[in-house]
C-alpha cells in the first residue's frame, strides 16, 4: 500500500511539473543613466534575456572606463560600450570586438549657459563631462572638432560627474557647457540653460552604445554570443513597436515622470535605434580618423578588425528579423 501511494505521488508530480528550460549564466555590465541604454533595460526587464535561454546578471557601473576593466579581467562576459571604449582597449592589445550595435549615431546635445548663443562662443570656455576618457568626454571632443572648435587648444574640459552634477556645475558657473541627452535637455532648458547644438543633426556614424565582448568568447562560445545578439535584436524590436511601455520603462530607470521629456527622449532615441543591428566599421572609423593625428596606431588600424558582423548577418539571413517586423 505504501509503495502504491508513493508511486501515485510521483506520477502526480510528473504530470503537474513543467519541464525546465536550461538557462545559461551570463554577466553583462553597462554604464551611464541615459536612454541610450534602453535596449539593455528592455532586454533585461522585459524578459528577452530569459526568453533566449540566458540567466543574465546585469550590472550597472559608474563609467565606461571601469566597465572595460570588468570585461578584460573576466568579471563579465559582455559590456555595453561605445566605439571609444572598444577602440582604446583594442589599440592597447585587448581582443575586444563589437558583435552588435544598439545606437550607431550621436544623439546627445551640447547644452550651455543661456548667454551663449553659438558654438563659436565656446572657445575659451570650460566644458563638463562625466570623467575624462569616458564616453561623454570622447563624444564632446569629437563633436567640437567637427564643429570647428579645438577642444584641447580652445576649450578646457573637466570631469564634473554624472548628469545631475553636470547640471549643478553649469548652475554654479564652474562650467559653461556640457553634453546631455533627452530628457535631460528639456530639464536643462527649464533651468534656463540653452540647447546649443543637437549633435544628432551631424549624422556622424559612431557606435554610442554597442554590445562588446572578447574574440576568445566568440570563438569558444559562439552559440552563447548568438543568444545575446538575438536578445538585443528582440529588445530593439520591442522599443520600436511598444512606444508607451518603452517610455514607462525609460521613466522608471531614469526616475522621472516628465511626460514631455519622456516623449522627446523616445522620439530622439527610437529614430536612431536600428532594426538590424549591424556593428558596421564606419562607426569605428569615425573615431580612428579623429584620434589618428594623436595616436599613431589608429592611423594604421583597420576599422573592420574591430567588429564581427557575422552574428547579425546570420540572424538576418535566417529571416528572423524580417519575421519580427512581419515583412
pLDDT digits (tens, 9 = 90+) for 68-96: 899 999 999 999 999 989 999 999 999 99
Among the residue ranges 6-20, 28-42, 173-187, 310-324, the one predicted with the least confidence is 6-20
- CA neighbor of 214 nearest in space, from 305, 38, 96: 96
Between the alpha carbon of residue 169 and those of residues 51, 190, 320, the distances in Å are 43, 16, 47
Predicted pLDDT at 90: 96
Neighbours of 215 (CB within 10 A): 15
Q: Are the CB atoms for 145 and 286 separated by under 8 Å?
A: no
Confidence of residue 21 (pLDDT cuts 50, 70, 90): low
Phi, psi of 22 (to 5 degrees): -65, 130
Q: Is the omega angle on the peptide bond into residue 102 within 30 degrees of 0, that is, cis?
A: no
Indicate if the pLDDT at residue 4 is higher than 80: no
Over residues 309-324, the pLDDT tens digits come to 999 999 999 999 999 9
Average pLDDT of the segment spanning 288-313:
95
Neighbours of 52 (CB within 10 A): 21
Predicted pLDDT at 164: 85
Predicted pLDDT at 148: 95
Over residues 128-155, the pLDDT tens digits come to 998 887 778 888 998 999 999 999 999 9
Average pLDDT of the segment spanning 33-43:
94
Measure the CA–CA gap between 131 and 208, rounded to whole angstroms.
Answer: 16
Task: Kindly give the pairing relationship between strand 24-31 and strand 156-159.
Answer: unpaired
Indicate if the pLDDT at residue 244 is higher than 60: yes
Could you give the count of Cα atoms lying within 13 Å of 182 in the half-sphere of its Cβ? 24
- CA neighbor of 102 nearest in space, from 79, 128, 68: 79
Amino acid at each position: 500500500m505504501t509503495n502504491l501511494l508513493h508511486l501515485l505521488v510521483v506520477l502526480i508530480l510528473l504530470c503537474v511539473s513543467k519541464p525546465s528550460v536550461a538557462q545559461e549564466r551570463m554577466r553583462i555590465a553597462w554604464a551611464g543613466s541615459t536612454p541610450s541604454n534602453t535596449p539593455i533595460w528592455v532586454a533585461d526587464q522585459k524578459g528577452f534575456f530569459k526568453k533566449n535561454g540566458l540567466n543574465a546578471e546585469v550590472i550597472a557601473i559608474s563609467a565606461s572606463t571601469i566597465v572595460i576593466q570588468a570585461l578584460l579581467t573576466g568579471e563579465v562576459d559582455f559590456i555595453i560600450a561605445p566605439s571609444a571604449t572598444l577602440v582604446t582597449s583594442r589599440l592597447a592589445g585587448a581582443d575586444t570586438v563589437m558583435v552588435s550595435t544598439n545606437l550607431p549615431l550621436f544623439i546627445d546635445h551640447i547644452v550651455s549657459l543661456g548667454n551663449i548663443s553659438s558654438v563659436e562662443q565656446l572657445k575659451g570656455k570650460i566644458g563638463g563631462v562625466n570623467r575624462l576618457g569616458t564616453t561623454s568626454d570622447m563624444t564632446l571632443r569629437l563633436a567640437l572638432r567637427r564643429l570647428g572648435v579645438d577642444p584641447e587648444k580652445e576649450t578646457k574640459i573637466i570631469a564634473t560627474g554624472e548628469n545631475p552634477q553636470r547640471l549643478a556645475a553649469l548652475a554654479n558657473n564652474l562650467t559653461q557647457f556640457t553634453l546631455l541627452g533627452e530628457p535631460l535637455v528639456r530639464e536643462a532648458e527649464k533651468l534656463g540653460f540653452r540647447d546649443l547644438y543637437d549633435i544628432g543633426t551631424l549624422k556622424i556614424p559612431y557606435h554610442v552604445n554597442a554590445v562588446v565582448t572578447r574574440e576568445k568568447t566568440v570563438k569558444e562560445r559562439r552559440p552563447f554570443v548568438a543568444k545575446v545578439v538575438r536578445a538585443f535584436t528582440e529588445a530593439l524590436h520591442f522599443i520600436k513597436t511598444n512606444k508607451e511601455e518603452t517610455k514607462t520603462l525609460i521613466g522608471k530607470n531614469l526616475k522621472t515622470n516628465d511626460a514631455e521629456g519622456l516623449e522627446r527622449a523616445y522620439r530622439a532615441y527610437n529614430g536612431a535605434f536600428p532594426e538590424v543591428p549591424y556593428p558596421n566599421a564606419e562607426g569605428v572609423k569615425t573615431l580612428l580618423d579623429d584620434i589618428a593625428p594623436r595616436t599613431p596606431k589608429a592611423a594604421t588600424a583597420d576599422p573592420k578588425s574591430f567588429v564581427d558582423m557575422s552574428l547579425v548577418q546570420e540572424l538576418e539571413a535566417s529571416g528572423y528579423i524580417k519575421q519580427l517586423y512581419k515583412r
